[in-house]
Structures are given as C-alpha cells and as structure tokens.
Chains A and B, each alone.
Chain A
Amino acid sequence: MGAILKLEKLSRYFAGLAAVKEVSLDLEEGGLFGLIGPNGAGKTTLLSIIAGSLKPTSGKITFKGRDLTGAKSFKAVQAGIARTHQVPKPFRTLSVLENVEVGLRFGGSQRSGNDAKDAMQVLELVGIAHRQHSPASMLSVGDMKRMELARALAARPTLLLCDEVCSGLTESETEQILSLLRNIRKAGTTILYVEHNLKAIMSVCDHVIVMNYGQKLIEGSPQTVRSDASVIEAYIGKKAAQ
C-alpha cells in the first residue's frame, strides 16, 4: 500500500491572505485520516483544493500517480475523488433518488448496470431510503447531510473527502455514520475526514493531521495528537497547554 494522495507544498492565497500555506501530506491507500484544527485553520479550503473545487495558488497534487494539480472538480471525480460539502448543496427540486443518481451516473467507475438498484443501495447504506421520492428541499438537516454522503458514495470514489458529515447529528446518529465510514474504508476506499467533533475523529481515524493558520501543525496517531502541547494550545490556548 503506497501513498494514494501526495500533496506537495500546497498553498492557496486569497487576496494576499494565506488560507492554506505550504501544506505537504501523504495519504496511504486504504487509511481513514482525520483533519482537524480550530476554526479558520484552512481545513475546508484544503479539502476543496484536493477535490478540484478550488485551484491552488502553488504546489502539486498527485493522485494515484497522476498529476491532478488545478484539475476541475468533475475531472477529479472521474479520477476517483468525491467530496461532501460542509453546508449541504442539494439539488433542491430533484428527489433524493435523483440527487444520488447524479453522483451515480456521472461519477465514473464500476456500476452494476441497474442504476435504480445501485442508487437505492446507497440510500439504504446511509439510512434515507424511505425518503427516496421526497424533493431534496424538504429534508431535515440530518437527512440532507446523509444525502450529501450518499451522493458522494454513489460516485464510487477511491478517495472520499468528508467535510463535517456528523455536525448537527445526535450521538447515535453520529455513531451510525462513523460505523458507515469504517465499512466504507473496509471496502477499500481511502477517507479524509474533516470534523470538529474531536471524539468522533479520535474514535474512528487511524491517523490524524492537525492544521492551524493554514499550515500543517502536526500529524500522527490519535493518541499522539491528543496529548501534543501545540495542538492543545491551538485549540484552547497557551495556559491549558502548560
């Protein structure tokens, strides 16, 4: 198992301000990686760059050996990367089933040939199969987040980028999603998971990366990261670290 995703000194500036500054990262294939950091650390920006929604100002992205730097998001999807959005972006007037169909039919890889069945499968996986015909605009926030995940999953990605898929969910709902992520990883998908819910991250990830002020602060196993002084400082402040 080698590195499926390589980020080399990735930077993204917005009018002179660095949202992401020289971040270098290697993600091993089949791993479940957590990306954490205080608000404004640049986590979602980094995710957007990897997904192709945003172009990096400088740096290089290599995915499965291919240079994907600057590739638009639909190209990234075809290469095998799919993402969810922190704030869900549903296709409002389409039904839940149709929303997932978009991911399924444009997402690139292996399909069984029966789209309706595959779509239902994904819906069942995330737990919203009962809402298949509802217009997406009528979903609750939690269900919308699940649909986000379902859409991305329907694209059968090799690398799944999750952006706060558990925020706004209850304990048990969170646990459902986390076990879903574990299963997805077991099936061979690499996952990069941005989350504010530190407990969730620590319980499900085997490797955690911490960002602050656009830069990579530290990375390591959940235990290492949890007790690291600079991480505590970043989140809570100097006093707590001392």
Chain B
Amino acid sequence: MSEAATDKGNLFPLLAKAAPLLLAVIAVAFIPAAHPSPNIIRLMFVTLVWVTTSVAWNLIGGFAGQVSFGFAVFYGLGAYTTAITYSTGVDRFDSILLGACAAMLASLLVGLPTFRLKGPYFAIATIGVSEAVRVIMTNLGFTGGASGYRIMERGPFNQLLHYYIALALAATAIALSMLVRYSKFGLALLAIREDEEAASDLGVNPFRTKLLAHALAAALTGAAGGVFVGYAAFIYPQGVFGFDISVAILLMPIIGGLGTVWGPPIGAAVYGFVHEELIASFPQFHLLLFGSLLILIILFEPAGVMGLAYKVVGLFRRRK
C-alpha cells in the first residue's frame, strides 16, 4: 500500500491521521478512572515506556533503515543521567530532559563514526558500543557499579503521576513520528532506506539526515529511560544497558510493523502485555517464544501486525 509521502496543503488528511492518536490518548488517560489494580497501572506504565522506545527506534531503524542493535545505550544513559541529577536535587522534568540531552549527545558520538559504515557493519558497531558502555558502567564507582544506583526519592510515591508522564511522552513520540513521516525530512529518510546512493544522487545529504534522525530517536529513548527511573527504586547496568533491552527495543517495531507510524506502538502493546504474562506464567519460555515469534514473522509476515492488517483490509475491499 502506498500513501502519499507528503500531505502539504491538505489539512483534512492530516487531521484524519491525528484523530486516532487523540482517541487513543484519551482512552488511555481515562483508564485510571475505572480503578484498576496497581499492577495493571504498572503494566500500562511499562508498556507506555516501551511505546516511546519502539516509536523512537523506528525513526532510524524503520524509516531510515539503519538497524541499530544497541539502542539500550541511549535508554541506559537517559536513565542514569535522570537518576543521578534527580537524586542531587534537580526537578523531575528537568532531570528527564537532561537524560534526553545526554542520550542525544551520545547519539552524535555513536553516529559520527558508524554512519559511514556499510552493510552489517553498522549493526555490529552498535552492539559493540552498547556493550562497551555497559561494561564501563558496571565498573564505574560513582554510579554504583554492578549493584546499581539508588534513587533518592523525594516525597511519597505517586503511581498515577508516572503513568501520566509516560503517557505524555508516548503521545509526543507518536505525534513526532507522524510529523516526521509526512514531512520532507521523512521523505529523505525513506529514500535513504530504499537506496542511499540514489538518494544522494538526487540531493539528499545522507550522513546529516541519518545523524538527525538518530539524535531524535536517541533523545526520545533517553527520555523514556528517564521516565522509567521515576518508577524504579534503583537501576543497575544490566537492567538498562543490557543487550536484552536492545533486543526488546527493536523487536517491538518489527512485531507491529517496521517503518509504519502505528506499527511500533502496536508492537509495544503486544510485547508489553505478552511479555508480562510470559514472565509471570512461563518465565523459562520467554526467549523461546520471542525467538519463535521473530522467526515466524520473518518467514511469513515480515511486515508485522500492520502488514497483516493491510492484507485483511485488502481482502475486505476485494469482497465488495
């Protein structure tokens, strides 16, 4: 299915696209009114954090086609920066912002050498960078080393506050993703994904464009890490920098539909709920299930949930 990449000068389609987001946000915002258990709120909170990372990764991995296997580094940097600044007295929102900035700066450091790489080298390099940072953080004294960093909590724990912060961030991420997708910048990303050389031959600056998308994705992911910190009593390197976090971050957009606007959030929702259920009921099977899911998706429906959805819609259209 091919929609127009740009919708300039045509307000209605833009509003039509924003409507589902508005509806979803309102729906999620009203869930607490039904007084669900704190466990459900926690589950939703975690899922919303994942929505942000999923949408963020999709900017560079889905739209631009640059597959990073090391996005945990931005999540972890955001988390640690937020945790440390918050514990030293910085206002909560500012500390999350600082987390996002730290991640964004790191993305430039990572991107500058790696975006020149071709083929699988980029993916491999991202693993190397993320793991190197994890090892360093595990050994670093002032951040608590392997046992982690304790967050100084000021005031009582307000579960709903964090819920709404996570919702706000997720909504912002999706909105940004939509803006990017239907903008000139988004067109450049798609062109780079399809054929970087041809894109350059038509005037797109691939290096700068990739760096920008990467920075945006990293900032959102760092913010997600910072938001997560609000819920956690302490964070530790394996928990925020671990390779399994990088895996989860990239798995979600793939499950939902790589390179689409709604795929990543859907994938995050699927992953969030399934993951929690699995960890609770079959902790020893979850790698097996996700691995098999990934294999099945790749073999039978590489376009994920969104791909399936389009096919189903196509079936209905033909029946008419």
Mutual binders A and B? yes
What residues of chain A have their CB less than 8 Å away from a CB belonging to chain B? 51-53, 72-74, 77-78, 82-83, 85, 89-95, 97-98, 101-103, 105-108, 114-116, 133-135, 151-152, 155
Across the interface, which residues of A come within 8 angstroms of B203, CB to CB?
A: 74, 77-78, 102-103, 106-108, 155
Interface contact B201-A53, CB-CB below 8 Å = yes
Contact status B199-A102, CB under 8 Å: yes
Find out whether the CB atom of B197 lies under 8 angstroms from the CB atom of A77: no
Nearest first, the 6 closest Cβ-Cβ pairs linking A and B are A106-B203, A77-B203, A91-B194, A89-B198, A95-B2, A98-B5
- Tell whether, in the assembled complex, residue A93 and residue B201 are in contact, meaning their CB atoms are under 8 Å apart: no
Cβ–Cβ < 8 Å partners of A91 in chain B: 190-191, 194-195, 198-199
| A97: B residues at CB distance < 8 A | 4
Q: Which residues of B contact A108 (CB under 8 A)?
A: 203
Given A102-B191, A103-B203, A115:B198 Cβ within 8 A: no
Chain A CB within 8 A of B17 CB: no
Interface residues in B, total, Cβ within 8 A: 23
> Does B2 lie within 8 Å of A133, measured CB to CB?
yes
Is there contact, CB below 8 Å, between A98 and B187? yes
0/1 per residue, B182-212, Cβ < 8 Å to A? 0010011011001101111111111000000
If A103-B203, A106-B204, A151-B202 touch, whether A114 touches B197 (CB-CB below 8 Å) is no
Binding site for A on B (CB under 8 A): 2, 4-6, 8-9, 184, 187-188, 190-191, 194-195, 197-206
A96 to chain B, nearest CB (A): 9
Judged by DSSP, the binding face of A is mixed
Assuming the A-B contacts A93-B194, A102-B199, are A74 and B204 also in contact, with contact meaning beta carbons closer than 8 angstroms in the complex?
Answer: yes
Q: Can you pick out 21 interface pairs between chain A and chain B where the beta carbons lie within 8 Å of each other?
A: A72-B200, A73-B197, A73-B200, A74-B203, A82-B201, A85-B198, A89-B197, A89-B201, A92-B194, A95-B4, A95-B5, A98-B5, A101-B5, A102-B199, A106-B184, A106-B188, A106-B202, A107-B202, A108-B203, A115-B8, A116-B8
Shortest Cβ distance from residue A232 to the other chain B in the assembled complex, whole angstroms? 34
* Closest chain B residue, CB of each to CB of A48: B201
16 further interface pairs, Cβ-Cβ under 8 Å (given A74-B203, A82-B201, A83-B201): A73-B201, A74-B205, A91-B195, A94-B190, A95-B5, A101-B5, A101-B187, A102-B187, A103-B202, A103-B203, A106-B184, A106-B202, A106-B204, A108-B203, A133-B2, A155-B203
Most buried by A among B188, B191, B199, B203: B203
Which of B2, B6, B8, B202 has the most chain A CB atoms closer than 10 A to its own CB? B202
Q: Is the CB of A77 within 8 A of B201?
A: yes
Cβ A89 vs Cβ B191 within 8 A: no
Tell me whether A155 and B194 are in contact in the complex, defined as CB-CB below 8 angstroms, given that A93-B2, A102-B187, A133-B2 are known contacts.
no
Query: With A53-B197, A91-B195 as given contacts, are A102 and B2 in contact (CB-CB < 8 Å)?
Result: no
The minimal Cβ–Cβ distance linking B139 to chain A, given in whole angstroms, is 41
